[in-house]
Chains A and B, each alone.
Chain A
Amino acid sequence: MIELLSQPWPWYIGGPIIGLTVPLLLLAGGKVFGVSSNLRHVCAACNFGSNEFFNYDWKSEGEWNLTFIAGSILGGYLGGYVFANPEPILLAQSTITDLQTLGITDFNGFVPNDLFTWSSLGSVAGFTVLVLGGFLIGFGTRYAGGCTSGHAISGLSNLQLASLIAVIGFFIGGLIMTYFIYPIILS
């Protein structure tokens, strides 16, 4: 059992379980799966300024979702710490080769240690990844009206054209970053 919990799960097992989040939330209370709304709820809760976009009853609207995301933090603790997989991720060799060319040397863990430490915040690359990366995610997701969960999973599951357009956007941005901008940041 412990072994099952600590080893990585193949995509054809994990994908369907992630998909089950959609009906589970709908059945639990008619809630639509979407993580990034929580970022807006936090803005509303902090009541920054008097902006109309954040002037709503965040508690009645977002309490369930903030609870959900607290659960995700707990799930991250269980899945990534208590039952952590000690082995490096089995990546495609071509990705490893590409990343080595860009100067990534350490392939242990979920993230490259060269970029995701407190001290890396002081480097240009680390600051760009952590601060600009987070900012673009927060800005872009609200502009697009959803993130990977709200559009790519919930929206596509409900056959929303808007979500298909948003997902195409996700890949336009992602490919530009991966092929054109990241090599500059890491150089």
Chain B
Amino acid sequence: MKISDYLKYLIIGTLFGFVLMKTEVVSWFRIQEMFRFDSIHMYGIMGLAVFIGLISIQIIKRFQIRDFESNSISIPEKDPSQRIRYIVGGSIFGLGWALLGACPGPMFALLGSGLTVMIIPIIAAVAGTYTYGVFMDKLPH
């Protein structure tokens, strides 16, 4: 990658991390509140994020908009024939999400905010990913 590539992804990532903090998506308390259906906060955020994502993907597809390098944009489809992996893998992820109160993006943003102990779940998550890689052939998908 060129220096300008590093810079653009760094800037988009910084914006993402900043908004995660400002909207309190990184908060263990907010995740507890969400799973108790006590507030619209998290649902509003996810709903509007999907809404904006959906509209912009439709615009990009409809007008065949190219990226900054003028390459055409294609979004790979997720294989819908595999059902077990999404429901079982998703549920395992959900157990971890509620337990830690943070998903992968917020884990890194929280680390940046000075919560140094978040390096432990990040390392554990890398170990979890590695464990999946080792056993993936034996797991139903």
Show the binding face of A for B, using Cβ within 8 Å. Answer: 5, 8-9, 11-33, 35-36, 38-40, 42-43, 48-49, 51, 53-54, 63-65, 67-81, 84, 89, 91-92, 94-95, 98-99, 107, 110-112, 115-118, 120-121, 128-149, 151-163, 165-179, 181-182, 185
Contacts and interface: CB of A to CB of B under 8 A. Distances in A.
Task: Choose among A20, A73, A81 the residue with the greatest number of B CB atoms under 10 Å from its CB.
Answer: A73
Interface of B: 1, 5-6, 8-33, 35-36, 38-42, 44-54, 56-57, 59-60, 65, 67-69, 71-80, 82-83, 85-105, 107-118, 120-134, 136, 139
B46 A152 contact: yes
B117 A110 contact: no
Contact of B117 (A117, A153, A171): A117
Contacts of A80: 21, 26, 109-110, 112-115
Contacts, number: 516
A5 B78 CA distance: 37
A51 B19 contact: no
B31 to A, nearest CB: 8
Contacts of A12: 44, 48
9 contacts: A15-B23, A23-B57, A67-B1, A118-B116, A133-B100, A153-B46, A156-B53, A162-B78, A177-B35
